[in-house]
Structure 1
Amino acid sequence: MRAGLVRPRAHRYMARMDDTPLTFHKMHGAGNDFVVIDSRHRASGVMTAALAQAIGDRHRGVGFDQLAELRSDDAADLALDFWNADGSQAGACGNATRCVAAMVMAQCKATSLSIRTARGLLRAEDRDGQIWVNMGAPVLDWQGIPLARDCDTLHLPLSGDPTAVGMGNPHCVFFVPDAEAAPVASQGPLVEHDPLFPEATNVEFAALSAPNHLRLRVWERGTGITLACGSGACATAVAAHLRGLTGRQVTITADGGTLMVDWRDDGVWLSGPVAHVFTATLAAGFGA
């Protein structure tokens, strides 16, 4: 892709009102793809809902599953904000966090980082070239996930007997006999906007394929079907262990690759592949 994008029509987007070129990185973790914008040198972040939508348009912009914006932080090595392709914000994104951690560690030759997100302060570690991120403790109470009313989060009162887990964002995990045959495209959006989830939810369909190995397909809130979901993998591993299907160390095969989850006493750790695709600059005035 060229390091300059065709400027979209002014009447379609009203997102960016200056002519400052905006550099970004395109990255992915197991096919879960991201635009990464580094705003640590700026006084504040540049992202808005409209600009996120403009960049997220796969036909007129760049396209992404989520966008991650880096900001400076007084108490951490960096802070991260996450945006969905529909312009809504996300509280957590495990694969994007891993991608950013890999990029920043390479820049500063570090082997660990502290990262501030809406989820809280997360720790990332380079273990022999493998990037691991502690996504924090899972949220299992109905108010914290959140749900609209008090109910058994391990067995939700929905068809299919799913489990609800919070990982800084809500997840609804269905255990199915065959993940390949799961109705992701049809059932995903219905569950995403079910009244039980006041902030909508990510939806996972998982099948046990071997001991401590799950096959996972995902419908992400605000985005749709994605090739992988880091926080979704964490939520699925937690739900699988709580339902007695796996141990606390789980290998998860998503559509785009394999992720590893390790639920420890200090939180749910996530690892998997990371790739930097290209660095480019949006055309001056993009989104204006």
Structure 2
Amino acid sequence: MEMNRVLTFYKYQGTGNDFVMIDNRDNSFPKDDIKLVAWLCDRRFGIGADGLILLEEDATMDFNMVYYNADGKEGSMCGNGGRCLVAFAKFLGVISTEAKFNAVDGVHSATIKGDIVELQMGDVTDISEKPNAYFLNTGSPHHVQLVKGLQDFDVFKEGSKLRYGVYGQKGSNINFVEPLGEGTFAVRTYERGVEDETLSCGTGVTAVAIAMHKSGKVSSDVVNIEAQGGKLQVRFSVDAKGYSNVHLKGPATQVFKGEVKC
């Protein structure tokens, strides 16, 4: 890799799910350079992050979101990444308190107050019940499975086994869940693309909340989730067609700004 340019970046995190943010409104970032994206996300040789996100101009919306997994490949929707991008857009002066933006799975709306971002996710109508688990897509595919002793559970071993063994090379994110009390659940997630456990996953948290409601483990349309990196809240409307007006709410903060030779 030739280190012949200096790239300005920002680091953001949402409940421990961290991202390299780049203002690409001038379209200067080499979007097809998988090795560069993977290097920037590398925690030893690069900046270090669960993913990289570009904020770009959009013809009809406030901005466009382009998300890459830590392996350098463009990924499916990232809920915490979307929330962090809204915070980044406010920092840049692109929005004030409300946003509407395009992402790989369609249009999302959001509000921001202080460091709390509430992001509208896509509707969920198709939920598959598996032995001891549920499978659904909340912008990214998710397997949701109840376990006992979550804190000591081997998420990497069991997550990678399910990610490849059940869902093949394309894979799925794997969420292990344990009830904590009325309307509250703990979750640990193995993320495809990162190929490891992350401290939080926004689409995963959303999937867990909906799966727990679908299974009858919670009756409320507001579900509290405790990820390894912090607390998030999911609310939704439910009818015979499925789940709509799905919102993911929690903190999203800037960690630092930097420059890197690449």
TM (normalized to structure 2)?
0.90
Instruction: Note closer, same or farther for the CA distance 1:199–1:100 as it changes in structure 2 (3 Å cut).
Output: same
Deviation string, structure 1 residues 100-148 (Cα, Å, up to 9, x no partner): 101212432511111111110000112576310001112526xxxxxxx
Task: Give me the CA root mean square deviation.
Answer: 1.9
> Does structure 2 conserve the Cα–Cα contact (< 8 Å) formed by 1:176 and 1:206?
yes
Deviation string, structure 1 residues 165-201 (Cα, Å, up to 9, x no partner): 1012110011112321322011111111135356211
Paired AA for residue 253 in structure 2: A
Tell me whether 1:250 sits opposite 2:223 in the alignment. yes
Instruction: Note closer, same or farther for the CA distance 1:120–1:220 as it changes in structure 2 (3 Å cut).
Output: same
Tell me how far apart the structure 1 counterparts of residues 32 and 66 of structure 2 sit (CA, whole Å): 9
- 1:39-54 superposed matches below 5 A: 39-42=24-27, 46=31, 48-54=33-39
Deviation string, structure 1 residues 2-58 (Cα, Å, up to 9, x no partner): xxxxxxxx4xxxxxx683321111110111111111101226763531111111111
- Which of these residues, 270, 284, 287, is aligned with residue 248 of structure 2? 270
> Does structure 1 conserve the Cα–Cα contact (< 8 Å) formed by 2:115 and 2:253?
no
Structure 1 or 2: larger strand share?
2
> Does structure 1 conserve the Cα–Cα contact (< 8 Å) formed by 2:87 and 2:253?
no
2:111 corresponds to: 125
- 1:1-288 superposed matches below 5 A: 10=1, 19-42=4-27, 46=31, 48-108=33-93, 110-127=96-113, 130-138=116-124, 140=126, 153-154=128-129, 156-157=130-131, 161-197=132-168, 199-223=170-194, 224-246=196-218, 247-264=220-237, 266-283=244-261, 286=262
Tell me how far apart the structure 2 counterparts of residues 201 and 187 of structure 1 sit (CA, whole Å): 13
Paired AA for residue 98 in structure 2: S
Say which one has the larger Rg. 1
SS of residue paired to 1:76:
coil
> Does structure 1 conserve the Cα–Cα contact (< 8 Å) formed by 2:115 and 2:251?
no
> Does structure 2 conserve the Cα–Cα contact (< 8 Å) formed by 1:137 and 1:167?
yes
Percent identity over the alignment? 30
Tell me how far apart the structure 2 counterparts of residues 198 and 166 of structure 1 sit (CA, whole Å): 17
Tell me how far apart the structure 2 counterparts of residues 256 and 168 of structure 1 sit (CA, whole Å): 21
Tell me how far apart the structure 1 counterparts of residues 204 and 231 of structure 2 sit (CA, whole Å): 13
SS of residue paired to 2:247:
strand
Deviation string, structure 1 residues 72-93 (Cα, Å, up to 9, x no partner): 1111111111111112221111
TM (normalized to structure 1)?
0.82
Please say which of residues 228-237 and 89-98 is displaced more in the overlay. 89-98
Query: Shift of residue 236 of structure 1?
Result: 0.6
Q: How many residues align?
A: 254
> Does structure 2 conserve the Cα–Cα contact (< 8 Å) formed by 1:122 and 1:135?
yes
Query: Shift of residue 206 of structure 1?
Result: 0.6
> Does structure 2 conserve the Cα–Cα contact (< 8 Å) formed by 1:139 and 1:166?
no
Structure 2: tracts of 5 or more residues without a match: 239-243
SS of residue paired to 1:193:
helix
Paired AA for residue 177 in structure 2: A
Tell me how far apart the structure 2 counterparts of residues 182 and 91 of structure 1 sit (CA, whole Å): 27
Paired AA for residue 173 in structure 1: V
SS of residue paired to 1:272:
strand
Tell me how far apart the structure 1 counterparts of residues 191 and 103 of structure 2 sit (CA, whole Å): 19
> Does structure 2 conserve the Cα–Cα contact (< 8 Å) formed by 1:139 and 1:167?
no
